[in-house]
Amino acid sequence: MLFDDMEAAHKFYMEYAHSLAFSVRIGQQKLDANGVVIWKRFLCAREGYKREKEEGASGSSSKGRRSRESRCGCPAYIYVKRTLEGKYVIAALYEEHNHAFVTPSKRHLLRSNRSVNKKAKTTLFNCHKASIGTSQAFRLLQIGAGGFEYVGCTKKDLQNYYSDFRHKIKDADAQMFIENLHTLNKLDHNFFFEYEVKDGRLFRVFWADTTSRKNYVHFGDVLSFDTTYSTNQYDMKFAPFTGVNHHMRSIFFGAAFLADEKIESYVWLFNTFLRAMGGKAPSFIVTDEDASIKAGIAIVLPDTIHRLCMWHIMKKLPEKIDANLLKDDEFRKMINLCVWGSETIEEFESRWQAWIAKYHFENNEWLVGRYKIRKSWIPAYFREIWLGGILRTTSRSESANSFFSRFIGRKLALVEFWIRFDTALKCQRQDELIDDNTSMHTNPKLLTSWELERHGGAVFTHEVFRRFQDELLAAREHCDVQTTTEMEDRTIIRVVDNSNRPREVIFVNADQVHKCSCMLFESIGIPCRHIIRMLRSARISELPMHYITKRWTKNCKREAAFDSEGNLLIEKSITSMEDSTRRKMATARNKFEDIFQMAKTSEEGLDILIQNLERLSLLFEPISRTRQEEQESFIGMSIPENVQVHPPSDIRSKGRCKRIVGHADKHKRTQSSGPRKCSSCKGVGHDRRNCSNKDAALP
């Protein structure tokens, strides 16, 4: 047989081996002075014997990895030699094998028949961008290919391929992360970032893109700052700044990675955040319970009201009390009513003392400590403060955790974090776009004939209107005026509702404004049922402007946003690929999928499709890329050879947020198993090896 090149000979022997069901590996070869192959051997993969490592050599320990021996001295081979005419011939071969061939059902497992093809690589990388792991990516490939035997590789092959990528970026991870931020800033000069390096290692970094900075202009009055996420293999603290948008959804303003949790780091971070946001400080900020954060806020944001996240505090409760109490319905009702349901300071104080006394928690140090700082986390102490919906209820906290958990993980490199984070952020913004479209181009269902309801549906976004509508229905069904007291400059109306809690609505003559003692409007910006009842009684058909909070309206983002220097914040594309190219790629993929679905209905259709694809492939130059080039294409940045900024090391963090317990966990066992017990005598403080009853227990 004659072959035009050595690759053709290799391909032939591979096909021959596959038909017989054995695997091939490349043996020795000889090159001439110009690098042209003179001859080469192709061997059965089970040729020869594995060399045993010398005693004491690296990796020869009996405790090391136990590998399986695949070689058995099989003599089968072919010897391919170059002719004087530049062709290649099989000059020698040995066909006999000294082992059994694999069965047809296992042919796809032969090593030489396996490779991570372009389809598998693309699927793998796309899945990781969507925070889908390698195992799930392999399952997706198997389903798409129609069976494991058609994937072209095993799950382990795919895992090894991705592990090679992680190893490749290991030392350059921090520098690649910073260079990526530089690139984004070049593409969009409004992309803001700052970082610091200490002893050649990344120490802290903050970033906020143009969209985040614009969102802060509109919704930066209230802010949530959370550092309970440990998100990468270096144990750096991920510190996101979030808020609430006009659909009452969480919205991202910016984020940082911190190598430590000292006051100096938080002072640097808050100052950097203010520079990114044009010097505008929030009016209210809620954080987790951390002394360094509190000190940093006091230094940088002295005029900002600081409160603690009650959800973070309450989720620690199961660790501080007997977990069996949480199964007690009466106990849960008492504590929830005390913490969440108390409207006045007096109510909270009496309810707190009642459940503390009933369950004998007077000496519980943690609860005593939480009581001392009650003014910083119990809503009854700051009902009159504008909160803008930022206080984290259980549902909001679980929603925020769900968002961040898409791209966080203790084993992720910084570059891996970024590609996942970028995808998750795009998903969040797509959800907002959908909410905008729904609010602008659909009408909510009205449940009454009141003109106030119609007007609320026209100005508020759908989610805000839903809450307004609940108040309006309560005003119609449950609110009654008890007494009206006329005074010189005001009128005081006493209103009762189904809560059996009398409310006072004060109408100030000079301002022509109603103020209610329930403080719902002052806290959240939505008119309460008691005020709505007064407006209805006054035959007012449209909400006065005073009661239309701008941040809850459909058009609240129409005004232009500027940075501190007066420059217009305009969002720009930060991808190197043009929109028209991406649109054509999507069209091509969809078109091919449509054709494939039609062709797969018959053998003839598939044959026609394959023949035409073969002709079509001749119109394009084949693309040959190295593995590193494929990996760089995946992450969208080059892997540098000269590293100046190294990843951090030896980080000591205070701890991180545990997994959030959701509704599905409420019936699961929450009680700790307690201290470890000896397996012999069931005592504590020792184990079976040093148990005093060990000898007595022997037969």
Q: Return the HEC string of 154-189.
A: CHHHHHHHHHHHHHHHCCCHHHHHHHHHHHHHHHCC
C-alpha to C-alpha distance for 426 and 429, rounded to whole angstroms: 5
pLDDT band at 445, cuts 50/70/90? very high
Distances (CA, A) of 680 to 47, 653, 673, 674, 675: 53, 38, 17, 17, 15
pLDDT of residue 352: 94
Q: Is 89 exposed, middle or buried (0-12, 13-18, 19+ CB in 10 A)?
A: middle
pLDDT of residue 325: 86
Q: Give the position of tokens 């707190």.
A: 352
SS3 257: strand
C-alpha to C-alpha distance for 576 and 261, rounded to whole angstroms: 36
**Helix (H) / strand (E) containing 506:** strand 503-508
pTM of structure: 0.82
If we measure between CA atoms, which residue out of 426, 406, 401 comes closest to residue 226? Answer: 401
500-534 per-position pLDDT tens digit:
788 999 999 888 899 999 999 999 999 999 999 99
pLDDT of residue 131: 85
**Helix (H) / strand (E) containing 536:** helix 529-537
Question: Average pLDDT for residues 433-440, to the nearest whole number?
Answer: 95
Q: Is-contact 43 63, C-beta < 8 A? A: no
Percentage helix, strand, coil for the chain under 3-state DSSP, each rounded to 5: 45, 15, 40
216-234 per-position pLDDT tens digit:
999 999 999 988 776 677 8
pLDDT of residue 625: 82
34-65 per-position pLDDT tens digit:
989 999 999 999 999 887 654 445 444 445 56
Domain boundaries, the chain: 2-48+70-109, 114-169, 462-552
Edge-to-edge order in the sheet of strand 490-496:
480-486, 490-496, 503-508, 513-516
Residue 660 pLDDT > 60: no
- Greater pLDDT, 665 or 597: 597
pLDDT band at 686, cuts 50/70/90? low
Segment of 54-63, 375-384, 617-626 carrying the highest mean pLDDT: 375-384
- Greater pLDDT, 450 or 52: 450
Percent of the chain residues topping a pLDDT of 90: 57
C-alpha to C-alpha distance for 459 and 455, rounded to whole angstroms: 6
User: What is the residue-averaged pLDDT of the chain?
Assistant: 86
570-610 per-position pLDDT tens digit:
776 666 567 788 889 899 999 999 999 999 999 999 999 99
C-alpha to C-alpha distance for 634 and 129, rounded to whole angstroms: 9
pLDDT of residue 182: 93
137-147 per-position pLDDT tens digit:
999 999 988 89
DSSP 205-250: EEEE-HHHHHHHHHHTTEEEE---EE-STT-PEEEEEEEE-TTS-E
Phi and psi at residue 194, in whole multiples of 5°?
-145, 150
266 token code pair = 């938080």
CA 152 from centre of chain:
31
pLDDT band at 667, cuts 50/70/90? very low
pLDDT of residue 503: 92
pLDDT of residue 547: 95
C-alpha to C-alpha distance for 13 and 590, rounded to whole angstroms: 37
pLDDT of residue 321: 87
Q: 526-542 b/e with 16+ CB inside 10 Å = b?
A: bbbbbbbbbbbeeeeee
Of 153-157, 185-189, 409-413, 587-591, which range is least confident?
Answer: 409-413
Give 83's Cβ-side CA count (13 Å radius). Answer: 12
The DSSP output letter for 4 is S
pLDDT of residue 576: 59
257-307 per-position pLDDT tens digit:
999 999 999 999 999 999 999 999 999 999 988 899 999 999 999 999 999
Segment of 18-32, 319-333, 660-674 carrying the highest mean pLDDT: 18-32
SS3 annotation, 183-210: HHHHHCCCCEEEEEEECCEEEEEEEECH
R_g of the chain, CA atoms, integer Å: 34
pLDDT band at 191, cuts 50/70/90? very high
pLDDT band at 652, cuts 50/70/90? low
Question: Average pLDDT for residues 410-431, to the nearest whole number?
Answer: 87
pLDDT of residue 612: 94
